Structure 1
């Protein structure tokens, strides 16, 4: 079974919308696009390069696919992230696209959750989801995500699309790895760890 990993840039209050530019995603009147850019440093770029090297395939929603397809093919051949993005197999979940032209891209048809489930059962390396907020909600809702790679920036935005929105399947997580960049970005990887567990706190319980 192939692992499916969601890797997401998000603010401290959970917003993942438009981290990379003013016009990346203005849906809902979002006016804070580009909020992640001031915090990039060589250490963070190195981490994201290592993540890209782990990938065996990429999975996108339509908006992220169109954005990436317009920019990554312009990368230099020796760009370590760009070279991976351009050459890896890419799968696109969309109800509106009829075709996809970026190198090694395939349009998924039919039910998205079923199609992704089939991809996970195939041979191959890790499937990574970058951006693709709407698609991620579908994957979380169908319990298809094995690992979350969260890149949390020290900013509060207050509005916008959030990673863990309504419909998130309750469950436990295990911290696999964590690091902090020189600009204060917290980079953490969490693996799924079974069902959500419960308890009680207070002097009467002995857990105080």
Structure 2
């Protein structure tokens, strides 16, 4: 399976707390919910496209717990997001989570998350999808394990919060395969991994 990541970002690279004020208040973060005013039909169409390609999910513990508190309650079989999240396998990378009541959940990464994710990618299927899970994504990008990035960039600057591309990350090159803007000014860019950066001079 190909490993893809859909990540919401501000213009200054913050991924913390896009979905609500109380989603992630760590380090005193007070700007949660910054993505919500920009959602529209264009964004919804993109999300439906993404979920139409999924065969399994890979999530960090924080994102998993947010999803597990909400999506099992959504039981409409016509909902393209809920139907897949509730029916398909969900792999949670955690060294502390001991179990879950959400059907189809399996905990991985207790000893070696890189080894476990590599094994998942070797399984047959279309996409192993990550949504959010910024800390886990950073770890996997450092080992060239994420194949496709869907960066959803919102027209807002916060000046504080967890940055997605943190200092010390692995230098990586990507190839832009698609870019579009929603009616509210959100830019959705899809990138494929393309090895290491090349360098030159003017």
Q: Secondary structure at the match of 2:135?
A: helix
Partner of 2:171: 170
Partner of 1:107: 107
Partner of 1:205: none
Distance (Å, rounded) in 2 between the aligned partners of 1:165 and 1:92: 22
Q: Say whether the 8 Å CA contact 1:174–1:192 is kept in structure 2.
A: yes
> Which stretches of structure 1, 4 residues or more, deviate above 6 A after TM superposition?
none
Distance apart, 1:46 and its partner CA: 1.0
Q: Say whether the 8 Å CA contact 1:137–1:167 is kept in structure 2.
A: no
Give the count of matched residue pairs: 200
Distance (Å, rounded) in 1 between the aligned partners of 2:183 and 2:122: 39
Partner of 2:53: 54
Distance (Å, rounded) in 2 between the aligned partners of 1:167 and 1:117: 22
CA deviations on 1:143-188 (whole Å, 9 max, x unpaired) are 2111110000000011111111123211211001111000000001
Partner of 1:204: none
CA deviations on 1:19-51 (whole Å, 9 max, x unpaired) are 000000011110000000000001101111110
Distance (Å, rounded) in 1 between the aligned partners of 2:140 and 2:31: 26
Gaps of 5+ in 2: none
Distance (Å, rounded) in 2 between the aligned partners of 1:101 and 1:107: 12
Q: Please say if 1:94 is aligned against 2:111.
A: no
Partner of 1:151: 152
Distance (Å, rounded) in 2 between the aligned partners of 1:195 and 1:74: 43
Distance apart, 1:110 and its partner CA: 2.0
Q: Please say if 1:4 is aligned against 2:13.
A: no
Range moving further from structure 2, 115-124 or 71-80: 71-80
Give the alignment's TM-score, normalised by structure 1.
0.93
CA deviations on 1:38-91 (whole Å, 9 max, x unpaired) are 000011011111101111111011111011001011224122211111111110
Q: CA RMSD in A?
A: 1.0
Q: Please say if 1:139 is aligned against 2:171.
A: no
Q: Secondary structure at the match of 1:92?
A: strand
Gaps of 5+ in 1: 202-208
